[in-house]
Amino acid sequence: MLRFLKDSKAAVSRQFAGGGRVHAVFGNESCDLDSAAASLTYAYLLSSMDRETLFVPVLNIPEQEYPLKTEVTFFLHKLGIGKEHLVFRPELDLAALHRAGRLLITLVDRHRLDGPDAPLQPCVVHVLDHRQPDRPLSDDVVIEPVGSCCTLVAERLFQLNRSLIDRTVADLLLGTIVLDTVNMSAAAQRGTPKDRLMISFLEPLSSGDSPDQLFEMLQRAKGDVSRLSSFELLRKDQKAADGAALSAVVCSVPMLVKDFVRAPDAVSACNQLCQSTGRDLVVLMGSQTGTEFSRDLAVFSAKDEARNQVCAALEGAVTPCLGLSRVSSPHQRLTLFSQANVAASRKAVLPLLQAHLAALPAPAGSDSGELSPVGRPTPRRASPPPPALPHPVRPEVSADLRPPNGIDLALSAQVAALLEPTSTVSTARGPTSTVRGPLIAS
């Protein structure tokens, strides 16, 4: 895989001389380990099936933010993947490639493009994600509720080109799945049978670190924030939730929020994040592993009404119920909660928050058009028709699924059932439905 990453980086440095198709593979803006690892490994798989297209895995952050992703930097460095081998988002002028009719996009660990990236949506030919969509989606979307997107990548590697899974790939996928599922903790309720199956397939191919060892070292790296300021810690893992009237940043911190807010600069960091992103609120989500897995949550805003509205919406949530209980907060502008439902991660809270913000009426006199990067509506503009795109990449057509490149489905009935999953696929032709069929929608 390292040779593939070096070649992709070199092609970007040459500004894609030659005029061929460029297929970018990238995840969400938090660029956590799941998004980063899925981008690298899925692009590697797709590149093995289409030699005429340049596949570029992209870390969806500026290079200067890379040190904030402590578990990503630690694990990639451990596996011999340096910063010099990686492509960061500002290095690619995706808009120019789109205008030239040369751009294809595969999204991993996310299912749509928003804000300044929204004009690139016509270039999206495939989606691989593990969280439910919050709006109808187009064709070539595969969404399956597993603990880690890298579980779905691993499944496809085993089926489509098992020979690519060397120790580096196995380690990267195994460690990511273990971290994302909290080492298959029953209390966290993040893992699924398919996550466990992929762990069992990857472990014999890895360099020897057990899942327990990988989880411990990655959790330690993720929590090593000793060199980060409170503001950098908030920026380390953040996602946006925008509405026409209010907008928020949802930040995950690798500790309980009640411990984070004890820092003397915690509230000023929240205020700085609101100002730098142009958003109204910061929702903080914290967790702590150990003898007992626990979570807590806080809502910060300088606007009392906005904070109270969001707090009431999260407290009253039913699907899922977060089990929030107010606890004493050291700051007037920050409302702190304990969270009884420890299974409700940001994947559960973010859709609740997005739905609440979307339901709020737009301010009088505003245009309810597209949302800008800072969550304020901008006037709708007629979009030019997208350039004609080549047919989407379809690995399931060109791949040799026979052993040794594929998994021998005769291993067991259980394995066969899990490797032909029931996947949730949303298409433009109708509402979300459950289908059984190829692993990559067509």
| CATH label of the domain that carries residue 271 | 3.10.310.20
CB 154 within 8 A of CB 180: no
Task: Report if residue 180 sits inside a domain.
Answer: yes
Buried b (16+ CB within 10 A) or exposed e, 126-149: bbbbbbebeeebbebbbbbebbbb
Pairing label, strands 334-339, 294-300: antiparallel
Structure tokens at 198: 């992929």
Out of 359, 377, 406, pick the residue that ends a domain.
359
398: exposed, middle or buried (Cβ count in 10 Å: 0-12, 13-18, 19+) = exposed
Number of domains comprising the chain: 2
On whether both 113 and 197 belong to a single domain, the answer is yes
What sign does the CA torsion over 4, 5, 10, 11 have? positive
- Determine the residue type at 223: G
Task: Report if residue 217 sits inside a domain.
Answer: no
- Sequence-distant (≥ 6) Cβ neighbours of residue 189 within 8 angstroms: 342, 343
List of the chain residues with pLDDT < 50? 368-442
On whether both 159 and 278 belong to a single domain, the answer is no
**Which of 319, 307, 255, 312 has its CA nearest to residue 283?**
307
- Sequence-distant (≥ 6) Cβ neighbours of residue 63 within 8 angstroms: 83, 88, 90, 91
pLDDT at residue number 148: 97
On whether both 402 and 355 belong to a single domain, the answer is no
Task: Report if residue 368 sits inside a domain.
Answer: no
On whether both 25 and 69 belong to a single domain, the answer is yes
Out of 340, 359, 378, pick the residue that ends a domain.
359
- Determine the residue type at 357: L
On whether both 26 and 130 belong to a single domain, the answer is yes
Measured in degrees and rounded to the nearest 5, phi and psi for residue 149 equal: -60, -30
On whether both 131 and 49 belong to a single domain, the answer is yes
CB 33 within 8 A of CB 180: yes
- DSSP type of residue 16: -
For residue 161, give its domain range: 2-209+393-436
Structure tokens at 441: 């929608």
Helix or strand or coil: residue 74? helix
Residue 43 CA to residue 164 CA, distance in Å, equals 12
Task: Report if residue 28 sits inside a domain.
Answer: yes
Predicted confidence (pLDDT) per residue in 76-122, tens digit: 999 999 999 999 999 999 999 999 999 999 999 998 898 789 999 99
Cα three-residue angle 12-17-22, rounded to 5 degrees? 60
On whether both 273 and 399 belong to a single domain, the answer is no
CB 248 within 8 A of CB 281: yes
Task: Report if residue 369 sits inside a domain.
Answer: no
- Sequence-distant (≥ 6) Cβ neighbours of residue 384 within 8 angstroms: none
On whether both 151 and 280 belong to a single domain, the answer is no
Query: How far is the CA of 417 from the CAs of 193, 197, 411, 412, in angstroms?
Result: 11, 11, 11, 9
Task: Report if residue 50 sits inside a domain.
Answer: yes
Q: What is the pTM of this model?
A: 0.75
Strand partners for 325: 338
Pairing label, strands 103-108, 294-300: unpaired
- DSSP type of residue 131: S
On whether both 268 and 404 belong to a single domain, the answer is no
Helix or strand or coil: residue 430? strand
pLDDT at residue number 432: 32
The sheet carrying 238-242 orders its strands as 238-242, 247-253, 281-288, 294-300, 334-339, 324-327
Out of 338, 359, 380, pick the residue that ends a domain.
359
On whether both 53 and 91 belong to a single domain, the answer is yes
Predicted confidence (pLDDT) per residue in 251-304, tens digit: 999 999 999 999 999 999 999 999 999 999 999 999 998 778 999 999 999 999
The sheet carrying 430-436 orders its strands as 54-58, 22-26, 103-108, 124-129, 141-143, 422-427, 430-436
Task: Report if residue 315 sits inside a domain.
Answer: yes
On whether both 195 and 237 belong to a single domain, the answer is no
Residue 31 CA to residue 109 CA, distance in Å, equals 10
CATH at residue 423: 3.90.1640.10
On whether both 148 and 8 belong to a single domain, the answer is yes
